[in-house]
Structure 1
Amino acid sequence: MAYTAHRPDTEPEVRDRTSQDDASIGELLSAVTSDAQKLFRQEVELAKAEIREEATKAGKAAGMYGGAGFAGYMTVLFASLALTFGLANVMDWGWAALIVTALWGVAAAVMYVMGRSRMKQVHPKPERTVQTLKEDAEWARHPTS
């Protein structure tokens, strides 16, 4: 019987290697699956945190857009009133208001026609995504082809 010196600094490594060697494939697969699930959950949490941060930034930007839209509306309103008052200096108030109203009606009609033509170009169904999903489903049914 040979005597080997006891070296405490190597014992845990040997013990770990021995326990891994003795572990069944099922146990190893279970450990890998558990680690993968943990990693996936951590990645999802990171993604959630990033999305929350970006949503906060987007919310603040949307608030600024809303404020700019309101300021633009007020500018147009007072410019319309100024135009009405200016025209009222050379004609009756009723005609001045009618002219400004007609100008806004023409602007509204032009924007409606332009918006309608652009809306016809919108395709709500994501064609490329649908196509790739069909390809993925086909591959899943026949993975060797």
Structure 2
Amino acid sequence: MPSIPLADDRTIASGEQSVGNLVKDATTHLSTLLRAEMELAKSELAREVKKAVFGSVAAIVALALVLYGSFFIFFTIAEGLAEWWYRWIAFGVVTLFIFVVAGLLAWFGVKKFKTISAPKQTIDSVKETAAALRHRDSDEHRA
């Protein structure tokens, strides 16, 4: 990541700084700072999006289990259990199993969604930059 130099070696050596050079340096430093803030925001948002995608996938898998798998897979299991139990008990046990698995997957998905947070580092960094600029602006008005 680019850094902001504290002083230009050429102007220190000559001992003079023009207003044009000061404005140019300030513009360059502000541009570098804004680019660094944007990169930080991008990286934080990318992490949070990955969490959201993972939670979404868990919720979709739970829904797919309930809708599609319940007919083909669990109907067969219920018929197999009906060999030892009454048929209604076998189907009740399989239905209960479906809802327990779907509930666990939904709970896991919601738990992942709750870990999604705002980009705290970016917010803190922007606040610090704004405070520093306000402080510097108020110092210039006093002078």
TM range (shorter): 0.3 to 0.5
Q: TM-score, normalised by structure 1?
A: 0.40
Q: TM-score, normalised by structure 2?
A: 0.40
* Greater Cα radius of gyration, structure 1 or 2: 1
